Amino acid sequence: MEQFLAIIIAKYNYWLYVVLMMIGFYAMIGKRNLVKKLIGMNIFQTAIILMFVSAGAKYGAKIPILNKHEVLEHGVRAAQVVNPLPHVLMLTAIVVSVSVTGVALAILQRIYREYGTLEEDEILEKLGR
């Protein structure tokens, strides 16, 4: 038990992202309401974004804004600044996830106008008739 806890605590950020991702995955697959599916998709994407961001973090490191003259003289001490690249990548991923959500919401609006409901079961029932 001790050992198991130690494993979890050592890499707790990754465990958190796995839990969050599974919550999102469950909502996408298990829920029957289309908006809940979409929110599940957002949780799923957020989990991955958090994983990337936490991969760039370091203990005791500062933000990666450096003094130009100092860097020219001593060079960059990589251990003292967090890795900015995952953050920059995730900015793009956030843009992607926002646009997918936007398209999905627009489509949900059309579905609601067509069927008057966003419950998958009720839509399938109406289609069956």
Residues found near other proteins in the complex (CB under 8 A): 25, 28, 34, 37-38, 41, 44-45, 48, 51-52, 55, 86, 89, 92-93, 96, 99-100, 103-104, 106-108, 110-111, 114, 123, 127
Residue 109 beta carbon to other proteins: minimum distance, rounded to whole angstroms = 9
DSSP assignment of 67-129 equals: -HHHHHHH---GGGB--HHHHHHHHHHHHHHHHHHHHHHHHHHHHHHHHS--BHHHHHHHHH-
**Beta carbon nearer to other proteins, 8 or 106:** 106
**Beta carbon nearer to other proteins, 19 or 96:** 96
**Beta carbon nearer to other proteins, 8 or 124:** 124
**Cβ–Cβ < 8 Å for 44, 21:** yes
